[in-house]
Amino acid sequence: DGRDRRAVELPEVVTDDGLVWKIGPGLSFSFNDNQNVVGQPDGWAMTLDLALPASIGYRVGGHELRGAFDGQFAASRSTALPEFIKSKDVFAFDADYLYHAIEILGPYVHFGLETATFPGYDTRVSTSIWAVARRDGSAERWTGTRFRLTDPFLPITFRESVGLFVHPYSSDSFTLETRAGFGGLHTLAEGQLVVSDDGGTDDLEVKELYSFDQAAVEMGVALFGQYFENKISWRV
As a whole number of angstroms, the distance between CA 143 and CA 123 comes to 12
Q: What is the pLDDT of residues 72-91, one digit of tens each?
A: 999 999 888 888 999 999 99
Residue 178: is its pLDDT beyond 90?
yes
14: pLDDT confidence band, cut at 50, 70 and 90? confident
pLDDT of residue 10: 56
What 3-state class would DSSP assign to 79? coil
pLDDT of residue 73: 96
pTM above 0.75? Answer: yes
Residue 228: is its pLDDT beyond 80?
yes
* Residues contacting residue 205 through CB under 8 Å, at least 6 positions apart: 131, 133, 195, 196, 197, 198
What sections of 27-175 are H helices per DSSP?
none
Q: What is the pLDDT of residues 136-153, one digit of tens each?
A: 999 999 999 999 999 999
Query: Looking at the DSSP assignment, which residues form a beta bridge with residue 160?
Result: 111, 184
pLDDT of residue 6: 43
Residue 9: is its pLDDT beyond 80?
no
The count of other CB atoms within 10 Å of the CB of residue 49 is 16
Mean pLDDT of the 99-103 span: 93
Q: Do 70 and 8 touch, CB atoms closer than 8 A? A: yes
